[in-house]
Amino acid sequence: MPEVHQIDIQHVAKLARLTLSDEEATRYESQLGGILNYIDTLTRYDLDGVEPTAHAIPVYDVLRADEPRTGFTQEQALSNAPKRHADQIQIPKVIE
Amino acid sequence: MLASSTIAALRKGITAGDITPRDIVLDVAKSIEAGNAEIGAYLSWDVEAALAEADRADITKPLGGIPIAIKDNMNVTGQPCTCGSRILAENYTAPYDAGAIRLLRASGAIPFGRLNMDEFAMGSSTENSALGVTRNPRDLSRVPGGSSGGSAAAVAGDLAIAALGSDTGGSIRQPAALCGCVGIKPTYGRVSRFGLVAFASSLDQIGPVTKTVEDAALLLNHLCGHDAHDSTSLNVEVPDFTAAIGQDIKGLRIGLPKEYYIDGIHAGVSASVQAAIRQLESLGAIIEEISLPHTELGVATYYVLAPAEASANLARFDGVRYGHRSSSAGDLLEQYTKSRSEGFGPEVKRRILLGTYMLSSGYYDAYYIRAQKARTLIRNDFTEAFKKVDVILSPTSPTPAHKLGELKDNPLAAYLEDVFTIPVNLAGLPGISVPCGTVEVEGKALPVGLQIVGKALDEATVLRVAHAYEQSR
């Protein structure tokens, strides 16, 4: 008997920094439930003691020399900012 | 029609002095202007910029003067990079070249034109693009596959000589199969992901979409290599992949996973692949049945790991540094949520929600860690199989191209179409799709793709088998 997935979709949306209309919330809740039921395939196998794989071809401890190098100019870094002021990115006021 | 030609042929023409890079760019531009309204492969193309590059192209370089079309998720300085999304459509111009683009330029090639794709590469039909419809050039009522649907449609429809795609769960191989061209996903780490807008970082890989296997080898030669900007980039020798072209396959061992040859494969696809197996046998290959016992876990594992990684990667789209910023937001939090909610399309939201849920407190072990463990089993399956065989053969996709809109409201059914391509990404292996005939559906000949998967870093054998098969048909 597959577990019925109870998803508090509005809570998940809040964590994901998304706002959902009621219509979207209903649709996603039902679709995600279906997908999660399918993902329950994973519970049919005994995975105790199996090492997790993060990358198929792992490369460990990649460090570069701690030396200065050229990067973006200020203009390049700001070139796509939606709103600029005094060579900085402008956002709504955070601290009153 | 130079746009219908191959890299290999055009390079001969350039070297002989018969054609110039300018001729080629102009001809490709003409083909785009004539055909793109119907096919919709390109989102944008800058003829003037490409002509300027053509005029100063170094034709002594191996790909000198060849225009290559680019999937719209790779940064090319001065060009858009929309990822098929409204969130990057209005006001993003790439300030740098991706690692793969740097190598491509160093080989003399010209990045020309931006190709449509499923939004942030999430999908297998290109229908999830927020910016336009791409149609399959073999049957305009059908999808080109995806997510690199623009890449495959441009190459198969002769609107490009060759293209770059990216492949997270089949996104190069499946559209190549459905449109009838060649697409190869290299070993994970072969090609730099620097400047490729990240979808699922442990799975994403850039690769060529071409008209021939030889062109795939040529292009791959100039995409692979270590890049200090990508910490997962492999610092290994890159062989000359064209050396594999033309070698015979006598005695080569080909594995057929018994779990793959199952119900649910379209009869015509099955017949085409069976014919290809007989053809390879007649060329001297030894065919063996093998087992990949955890095949059933592939799609479920992928639909945990890919959305989880995507939900983290796409957190960067917050309306602050680049991309869409909502004009109606009051405070900073509202700016985040409104910018994202206005900018992302339905499939992207679906996967961000799925990934966020599975990574949230209390669910992380049950989903993410469990899927990473399943990934180990899938990878071990391939390791065991490759003790017995040199390559593994399957259909690329279980079905030919669907009608536009056919799977629109059934995301799970669409996900299951990736059953043969997903395990290859999970195991990080190289895989190619090469055309293997057509099936007749409603009076149209729809292409079928044959997938050949090799050992890690053994693209050479994959290309060798693909080329031997291609030339014998």
- Please write the tens of the pLDDT for every residue from B366-413: 999 999 999 999 999 999 999 999 999 999 999 999 999 998 778 888
* Residue B236 neighbours by CB under 8 Å, 6+ apart: B226, B457
Angle, vertex CA B160, rays to CA B157 and CA B165, nearest 5? 95
Domain ranges of chain A: 1-45
Question: Which alpha helices (H) appear in B122-205, and where do they start and end?
Answer: 149-156, 173-179
CA distance A13 to B94: 30
CA distance B183 to B209: 4
Interface membership of A95 toward B (CB under 8 Å): no
> What is the DSSP code (8-state) at residue A41?
G
- Res. A3 pLDDT band, cuts 50 70 90: low
At residue B1, the pLDDT reads 83
Q: Is the pLDDT of residue B288 over 70?
A: yes
**CA of B297 vs chain A CAs: smallest distance (Å):** 6
Q: Is the pLDDT of residue B254 over 90?
A: yes
Beta bridge partners of B384: none
B281: helix, strand or coil: helix
What CATH number does residue B460 fall under? 3.90.1300.10
pLDDT average, residue stretch B58-70: 98
CB nearest B357 (choices: A32, A38, A62): A32
- Closest alpha carbon to B433 in B393, B402, B383: B393
Edge-to-edge, what's the strand order for the sheet holding B391-395? B42-44, B110-115, B67-71, B163-167, B205-210, B182-185, B431-441, B444-454, B391-395, B253-257, B286-290
Residue to mutate among A3, A7, A8, A17, with most B CBs inside 10 A, is: A17
- Please write the tens of the pLDDT for every residue from B326-365: 999 889 999 999 999 999 999 999 999 999 999 999 999 9
Clarify whether B71 is annotated catalytic: yes
pLDDT average, residue stretch A72-78: 94
Instruction: Name the residue range of residue B316's domain.
Output: 1-473
Annotated catalytic residue, options B147, B151, B270, B311: B147
CATH of the domain spanning A1-45, picked from 1.25.40, 1.10.10, 1.10.3470, 1.10.20: 1.10.20
- Please write the tens of the pLDDT for every residue from B189-224: 999 999 999 999 999 999 999 999 999 999 999 999
What total number of domains does chain B contain? 1
- Please write the tens of the pLDDT for every residue from A30-55: 999 999 999 999 999 999 999 999 98
